[in-house]
Structure 1
């Protein structure tokens, strides 16, 4: 109920009282309207304040949470992190930064003076660039406002440092431990420049160091030597004792060579059993010769390979800078050429490079090319030289001799092309062809003469010789007892065990075996006792000297007596005079071979001669 509001007032000069009344409803309506507006506005403002407060609280929580996440993130970085403000104070750093640099907490805490920390690091030697047992700067660069540096700390730790200078002042720095990465890079670099078996320099590092040594020698006006060497009789070690023993032999050889070299020299392994030694600061060529002699002596000492005492030797070729070449390629090539000449001269020989060697090597290369083409073009042929009974002079057998006539070179001596064929591997197909031709021709003879075929050591070492011989005998129809295979003493020296096994397999086929050129190599009675030979052939150098040399006569007499005592047939090669034949007859030689009684003749001519002889006998 609204009611009314009444007000009374008495007039001062009149006896009148005035009463004024107002209905309350309009007043209450206005009040209610004002109160509703005030309450609504107050509620809205309160809600707004609450909402703003909630948002501020939530934002603060988010900021706090972000800061915590950031703190954890910074603390868990694998890198050291430091931030310095514009006033030179540390505003942020993580524990990894402190640990990497071994920093004291008071100098590295937030708010600390960064300049004072740098001075402390400098006093401790962190920035020493000498590298003499202290920290040093390995590398430095700048890109895009960021400075990159790599520093080696005194404890050996490698740090990669990146510093970014901020535009408003201050900086941000990161420190990464790259010790393992650096060590891996160094190992990769080492593997790329060193031989994996011997840890000597490989060809890449050899060429780098030789280039540097040549530049130093050129500046000083000095000279240097390149010694190229390989091991003689290395393959038999591999074949008889196994590859593990061969590897150990190479490692021990590397250690011996390294022990002979000076700190400024370089020793490298550039092939299977081939080594190169660069001798720097050479005063005279005699220094290189003296080093080669020391190498010869050292390598000739016995090697202990798992209880096996092994003795080898080496051949050495030497090229001098600047006399023998002004480039790395020329020096290495000429040293290798000299090595090739040393091996030609015999085992255990040292040769200095000479210009004529290169000409001979070029000629050898051309000869090899012609030799490879000759087999395909059919330029080879086989001739046969008779062997005679020393007393009756009757023909007992024939020796097959390989002949080569080139359209441009003419007749090429076997002494010239056989060594080249052995070195380039052509002796294997050529030897097979020779064996097939000799057996085919011998199978067509009207009389069952024995045919002798020379074998190369390479055929023993690289081919399945017994199987090849059996196959050729089956193809040609020649009885095995009509085939005689000749070998030289060099084969027995290089690989005696392998040769013995092959010879026994050949004997099992029924073929005969002869030791050719006896007396010219390292002749040993043990060869005759161990190996199943049927015949000895005395080298022609002794036969042709018996008329003038008493020593040669004594040697021939001794070989004949020794052969007879071992029940071996003995053949004298190179008989060219009646006096030689008479001497051999007086000392009971079995067979003779030489120009006195018969020269080599082509296969066709021999076949015609034999058929004519048989026809005359039948008539």
Structure 2
């Protein structure tokens, strides 16, 4: 839309009283600066004329009194007149552009004071010069003053200019005439000055009324001009007309411009031929062109018809409206209509539609389009009694790549994943991205029972190949869960839910697997939901307890510490395995408050032991990511009064993968408190050798899988244990072997050089009371009865 002209007058009133016309009172309606601007902007054009009149009058007065008045009086008066005339002329010229801006009161006051100064200069003549002349010369001076004020009234649209002059000069001159006894002349002069004031007000009222009306007309006229100019310059719409044979008639310049041709050359040309381009010769018309031709042929009205055309500027989109024409006798004479180029709008709409259905990172269909495709596949399957399928794909170990190398590297890997997925699907399948590292495939026709398994196998194989990203060779995998429709779900949501449950099982089995939905998965999901509900209330209901498993010195077999292990007995679910509820607690974030309780309870129990044995507490990555975890440790130590040296915090290697800097900083705070740190399950996850160098761990715990492997003669397991022991010794750290269950395993671990042993052979996890009793009655656990 065009903007209104900038130089427009503000709203002004048409009914003004004398004080408002004179500028002595602000109008009730409208804006005072705008009203004054109309008046004072017109002073400048006649300023020179008024100044000239004053100088001429002054010269005539000087010639009249040149022989009678003292020269000093005449010179002083001349200087005063010239100075005040020049000052008023300068002020009026400064107001020349008052109509282009709103005048402020300061400008009006300057003009008033310049007129007052000029009036005071003029009254010096009757007061200080007239006494030296005769009555005739005084009469001449009075006439000159009257003529001067009359001239000002005629050439000024600011009434104060005339009023101030007539009041100051008129009163002085009338008084002087009365003083010399010229009563008739004085009365005539008083009447004349009153008429001048009335005439000045009437004149300015007429002037303002006319100017206000003109301003309104000018503003409307300029607005219309701007709108017309915008329409002319827009070049977006044109008129078109064809005859009964659909040939162009009287083409408008804009229509010819849109075609990219000269108006004379398109006269009598076929309208359809002009806009069809190469398709006129090959007959491959766009459907929208065929629709237009049919409407013209049937002589139907049409409006806002979007047509794809081929013109000089290439492929464009036009919006056409047309109406059939008839002569006075009702005979059909052709079509007439309007058109506009809507290519940019069409492209914008197409882009928005694309973004609504495609993922911007990978270019694959997004969740919305996958949902629509699955809905269509299910309708097809129900109609023709076939089967469709939905596969959900989750990338294994992708989170580690994202966390360790950054999101940019992760995004580049996702782009490669999408390329590989596009290569393994056929026309029967549609692959898309659900979000994050989750993808999906819709199989329209899955009647072949082996089709789903083949697609899943190709996906896992393709995505498990190494990736080259920013000179990094990376390895990830993929897990796939599939569901068959309508067998595993009679709606889109139900089928997607089934596939999600199958994917969840594939992830639980270690990844890199394809799991098909089975009905019991729903029962497992419901069990998990109920378990989560119970877990959320377990802490407040005091359903948790800790068990303690002893850790002994490898040589003396004396208890040196206990590891605190969490146990949960639920009234609804009975005893729940830690392998089931701890991953659930980590997934839901409940591990943070539960872990804080375990820490406080373990410290409280250790404080009651009769010996200074340590207590080891496992800490998850989610706990370490909390900014106040060190405060949690301080609070547990403070409440239990346990010395910090007796608390050992156990962490796994995985805590460094998520955010190594935060984990390192938090562990350094714990070390500063005086606690010790053990690295649990060493060698089963990601390499933490760098952190072994940077953090002074007290203990490295060898995972039970290596102990079991070594006991079975595995050379790899033996080599790993030897390497860990040697490394720990060089770094002045102790080693704890987990999972020792037989005397032979205990002897083997002792011979390999491990300093501490933990396992069922020396004691299963026991209640806190048994652990306290065991410490109160020191004995060699190795010599106790195996039974």
Alpha-carbon spacing, 1:396–1:176, altered in 2? closer, same or farther (3 Å): same
Select the residue among 561, 570, 595 that pairs with 2:735. 570
CA contact 1:265–1:278 (8 Å) conserved in 2: yes
1:173 aligns with 2:337: yes
1:186 aligns with 2:350: yes
- Report the equivalent of 1:559: 721
1:340 aligns with 2:496: no
Alpha-carbon spacing, 1:348–1:510, altered in 2? closer, same or farther (3 Å): farther
My pick for the range that moved more, 244-253 or 344-353, is: 244-253
- Report the equivalent of 1:229: 393
Per-residue Cα deviation, 1:207-239 (whole angstroms, up to 9, x for no partner): 112222334455566544433222333333333
Matches within 5 A, 1:427-442: 427-442=591-606
CA distance in 2 between counterparts of 1:275 and 1:133 reads 35
Matches within 5 A, 1:147-546: 147-154=303-310, 155-166=314-325, 168=330, 169-170=332-333, 171-217=335-381, 222-282=386-446, 284-461=448-625, 465-466=629-630, 468-470=632-634, 472-474=636-638, 476-491=640-655, 503=667, 506-518=670-682, 532-540=696-704
Alpha-carbon spacing, 1:354–1:601, altered in 2? closer, same or farther (3 Å): same
Alpha-carbon spacing, 1:72–1:388, altered in 2? closer, same or farther (3 Å): closer
CA distance in 2 between counterparts of 1:140 and 1:426 reads 68
CA contact 1:75–1:96 (8 Å) conserved in 2: no
Aligned residues: 539
Alpha-carbon spacing, 1:530–1:228, altered in 2? closer, same or farther (3 Å): farther
- SS across alignment from 1:153: strand
Select the residue among 222, 226, 240 that pairs with 1:82. 240
Tell me which protein shows more helix as a share of its residues: 2
Alpha-carbon spacing, 1:387–1:267, altered in 2? closer, same or farther (3 Å): same
CA contact 1:404–1:412 (8 Å) conserved in 2: yes
RMSD value over aligned CA atoms?
A: 4.3
Unaligned runs of 5+ in 1: 1-68, 615-619
CA distance in 2 between counterparts of 1:139 and 1:364 reads 64
Alpha-carbon spacing, 1:152–1:429, altered in 2? closer, same or farther (3 Å): same
CA distance in 2 between counterparts of 1:294 and 1:561 reads 39
Output the TM-score relative to the length of structure 1.
Answer: 0.73
Alpha-carbon spacing, 1:133–1:118, altered in 2? closer, same or farther (3 Å): closer
CA contact 2:404–2:658 (8 Å) conserved in 1: no
Select the residue among 586, 590, 603 that pairs with 2:755. 590
- Give 1:334 shift: 1.8
- Report the equivalent of 1:95: 253
- Give 1:583 shift: 4.8
CA distance in 2 between counterparts of 1:139 and 1:246 reads 52
- Give 1:309 shift: 3.9
Alpha-carbon spacing, 1:502–1:428, altered in 2? closer, same or farther (3 Å): same
CA distance in 1 between counterparts of 2:408 and 2:751 reads 54
1:602 aligns with 2:767: yes
Output the TM-score relative to the length of structure 2.
Answer: 0.59
CA distance in 1 between counterparts of 2:671 and 2:418 reads 41
- Give 1:509 shift: 4.3
- Give 1:443 shift: 3.2
Per-residue Cα deviation, 1:9-57 (whole angstroms, up to 9, x for no partner): xxxxxxxxxxxxxxxxxxxxxxxxxxxxxxxxxxxxxxxxxxxxxxxxx
CA distance in 2 between counterparts of 1:454 and 1:150 reads 68
Alpha-carbon spacing, 1:99–1:596, altered in 2? closer, same or farther (3 Å): same
- SS across alignment from 1:398: strand
Alpha-carbon spacing, 1:508–1:265, altered in 2? closer, same or farther (3 Å): farther
Per-residue Cα deviation, 1:397-454 (whole angstroms, up to 9, x for no partner): 1111111111122221111111111122211221222122222332343422111111
Unaligned runs of 5+ in 2: 1-226, 780-787
My pick for the range that moved more, 165-174 or 554-563, is: 554-563
- Report the equivalent of 1:37: none
- SS across alignment from 1:270: strand
- SS across alignment from 1:200: coil
- Give 1:187 shift: 0.7
